[in-house]
A and B are shown apart, each in its own frame.
Chain A
Amino acid sequence: MIRGLILLLLWAALAARIYHASLPLLIAALLWALGLGFFYWNLERSGKPDRARFFYFGSLALFFLLGLHLRGFETSGGPSLQPYCHLSLAGNMLSIGAQQVQAFLGGTYGRYGVLGLGLLWLSAILVCGGGFCSRICFFGGWDDAFSRILKKPFFRLPSALSGTRLREFQLAFLLFLVFMTYSRGESEFCLWICPFKSPTGEILDPASSAYAAQRAVYIAVAALFVVILPLLTRKRTFCSTLCPFGALPPLIQKWMPYQVKINPEACNSCGLCVAQCPSFAIETLKKQPAQPTSQRKDLFETRITRYCTLCARCLPSCPKEAISIETMGRKGSALLNFISMGFGGALSLFYVPPAVMALAELVKGFFK
């Protein structure tokens, strides 16, 4: 209760600070703050944390893309500050760092804006770890949503293309993007891969000879990795393989205070959680038993890897109730919920109210 009130006050104060010049936006922001309060209450009280989390997470994705598509950020009179896309930032980090060094050496510090936002995203990872990917990112809700539509996967990915090694592909992909972006001087991910500009496509240069190829590639990525594969495999395939930012949280997740843990005494390595995990974060390893045995529990060990996004989808899947979210060794996710919703909710105040206003304008125009 107290934590919820603290968050509500913080959100309301931030809304007033951002939108004090515009009454409609301020009202929209305060209403959204109340909505965030409801999401938080639902997350804390619900016996189905994954479903409660997704309710909120999916809303973020919906409103952000709505705002982006309707140009709510530019036309609604909201603040000009938009979240600088963290997907792009991950691939640009070397370029931005080099530019900042040059700016510093040249006595001009004009890149502070980009650097400041970069530090914002870094802070998000440092406080939430892998939880960023299932509780803060305003893109991840899409493939998360499509991965929930079917009750069972239509097909399973072959073993060569699944498991935690697929997450290693993501890190290699990020490294490649960093080098290519720096050497070419343009954001290769944004130009070629980013599926979330499909509604807008505004950053491509139609005069470029590669324009048709770029459009084909990013539309194919959107269709395959955000919609089709998540739908058919029940896995978050874009977030787990191609998202450049998604390669970063796993680098520090093992040091975070919140972890999803499996009780080895209760677990019998049935593999149900491995199938449920949308992020390829759970693996089953063979053990060397001290004595010959046919018990699966003694032959295999199931463990949560650093690629866990703390989505909690595995929790209800375990028939032995062997999985739980722990905070500093004790069962419970209160701290994770508080910090992730505090951070994510604050961030959402920048893009949800303008999106709501843009949508209202659209509806109003439709009925005129």
Chain B
Amino acid sequence: MIRISAEGFTLGLAMGGSCLVTCLPFLLPYLLGGNVPTLIGRTWAFGSFLAGRLAAYLAVGAFSGVLGGLLLAQTGKGAVAFKGCLLVLAGTMLLVFSIRDYKAATGLPCPAASLKPLKGWPFLTGLVLGFSPCAPFAAGLAKAASLGSPVKGGLFFLFLFLGTTLVLLPAPLLASRMRSLFFRRIGLFFGMVAGAWFLVEGVVSWF
């Protein structure tokens, strides 16, 4: 068990940089935008995001441990289409969140302002992202599938999560320094661009 944990953690550490640049486009709008200007607020949004990611990783770890090699055979168009669905979902959430908060940040009228935000959008985004195949995910999946046990698979992915999360930890602290309306608008515009981009990318991947 210790060896599995250590392997997961070190793989996560090695892939941490990749995780940072993959996750940040999804995380930044929640950290800079939204009505959470305090460090506590941003930490809460960040923590929700990580919790979603953790839930996804644990599920994948346990699942891949049970099915073993069957998962490794699922490559190609199926995996691409699945990832496309996740991108569309995450992109849509980012887009709606950012457009809705644009009114608050800029004082301008916006038709989406009347939409009630789902509490826990950062959690949902983290959850969706956690299921999305990326470099650490693929590497972890191959290893977890070979373990043949949901507990071992879940444990491996838990420590993979911890290793990859280490580089993300300074994010809310840095974001708390950027409280002005300027950074908030930057965060929201970033969310709009990211949301639209991933939405289009997800749709394109289906064809």
Contact = CB atoms under 8 A, between A and B. Distances in A.
Nearest to B108: A160
A182 B21 contact: yes
A165 interface: yes
Interface string B97-118: 0000000001011100000000
Interface string B25-61: 1001000000000000000000000000000000000
A173 B192 CA distance: 9
Contacts of B178: none
Given A160-B106, A176-B193, A209-B207, A183 B186 contact: no
Contacts of A172: 185-190, 192-193
Interface in B60-96: none
B24 interface: yes
Contacts, number: 52
Contact of B190 (A94, A160, A175, A209): A175
A235 B42 CA distance: 37
Assign chain A's interface to a size class: 10 to 19
B95 to A, nearest CB: 13
A160 B204 CA distance: 29
Contacts of B189: 168-169, 171-173
Nearest to A188: B197
A169 B106 CA distance: 12
A190 to B, nearest CB: 15
Contacts of B24: 179
A4 B188 CA distance: 47
Interface in A199-224: 209-210, 213, 217
A97 to B, nearest CB: 13
Contacts of A210: 204-205
Main secondary structure of the interface of B (DSSP, over half): helix
B136 to A, nearest CB: 12
Contact of A168 (B28, B185, B205): B185
Interface in B167-207: 182, 185-190, 192-194, 197, 200, 204-205, 207
A182 B187 CA distance: 19
Nearest to B21: A183
Contacts of B110: 160
A176 B185 contact: no
B8 to A, nearest CB: 22
A68 interface: no
B106 A176 contact: no
Given A159-B108, A160-B110, A209-B207, A176 B21 contact: no
Contacts of B5: none
A213 B204 contact: yes
A176 B25 contact: yes
Contact of B186 (A175, A180, A209, A213): A175
B146 interface: no
A180 to B, nearest CB: 7
Given A159-B108, A183-B18, A213 B200 contact: yes
B82 to A, nearest CB: 15
A209 B207 CA distance: 7
Given A180-B197, A182-B21, A168 B190 contact: no
Contacts of B193: 169, 172-173, 176
Given A160-B110, A183-B21, A213-B200, A176 B207 contact: no
Contacts of B204: 209-210, 213
Nearest to A168: B185
A214 to B, nearest CB: 9
Interface in A139-173: 159-160, 165, 168-169, 171-173
Contacts of B106: 160, 165
Contacts of A169: 189, 192-193
B186 A179 contact: no
A15 B69 CA distance: 65
25 contacts: A159-B108, A160-B109, A160-B110, A165-B106, A165-B185, A168-B182, A169-B192, A172-B187, A172-B189, A172-B190, A172-B192, A173-B189, A173-B193, A175-B28, A175-B190, A176-B190, A176-B193, A179-B21, A179-B24, A180-B25, A183-B21, A209-B204, A209-B205, A210-B204, A217-B200
Interface of A: 94, 159-160, 165, 168-169, 171-173, 175-176, 179-180, 182-183, 209-210, 213, 217
Q: Which 9 residue pairs are nearest across A and B when measured between Cβ atoms?
A: A172-B189, A183-B21, A172-B190, A169-B189, A213-B204, A160-B108, A176-B193, A172-B186, A182-B21
